[in-house]
Amino acid sequence: MVPALAHLRPREETIIDPSTVLVQIEQHLAAGLATDWATRAYTDVAIHVVRERLSQLPPNDLQARLVVAGFTLAPFVPDGDADDIEQSCATCMYFDAHRPWCDLPELMLPVRAEWSCILWRI
Ligand code: SF4
């Protein structure tokens, strides 16, 4: 499977500047784009469904990716257990802090440490 937005990787020849995409994401979310942030993907089945939906999207449909992945500009704080860790890109196993970048193959997007999505994993 070809990662949807792999062409945006800063290490490779880029078609679109990742910093431009970062600003676009921020603008969409700040403008109130209604993402599926409330439906967290905690089970293997739920994760698979979301990843499949992402892989079916047109590569350049950034807004649809944000909606399906449930992006937010702030960390998600689980309701229940006080020991639950805040879910942000900074604490996610897919986060590459050096670029910064989301390495989940179906996303492959520039992200900020304080953002979050429903595919967060530790
Ligand atoms: S998978 Fe992790 S790093 Fe990628 S956007 Fe979601 S929370 Fe951020």
Query: Could you identify the atom of ligand 1 that is nearest to the CA of residue 117?
Result: 6
Length of the chain: 122
Which pLDDT score is estimated for 84? Answer: 78
For 92, the token pair is: 């996610």
Query: Could you identify the atom of ligand 1 that is nearest to the CA of residue 115?
Result: 8
For 56, the token pair is: 């079916």
Pocket probe for ligand 1: among 73, 92, 103, 114, the residue whose CB has the most ligand atoms within 8 Å is: 92
Name, in order, each residue with C-beta under 8 angstroms of 12's C-beta and a sequence gap of 6 or more.
Answer: 6
Which residues of the chain, if any, have pLDDT below 50? 1-3, 7, 9-14
Which pLDDT score is estimated for 2? Answer: 40
What are the sequence ranges of the domains in the chain? 6-102
Query: ∠ CA 114-116-120 to the nearest 5 degrees?
Result: 125
Name, in order, each residue with C-beta under 8 angstroms of 48's C-beta and a sequence gap of 6 or more.
Answer: none
Pairing of strands 101-102, 95-96: antiparallel
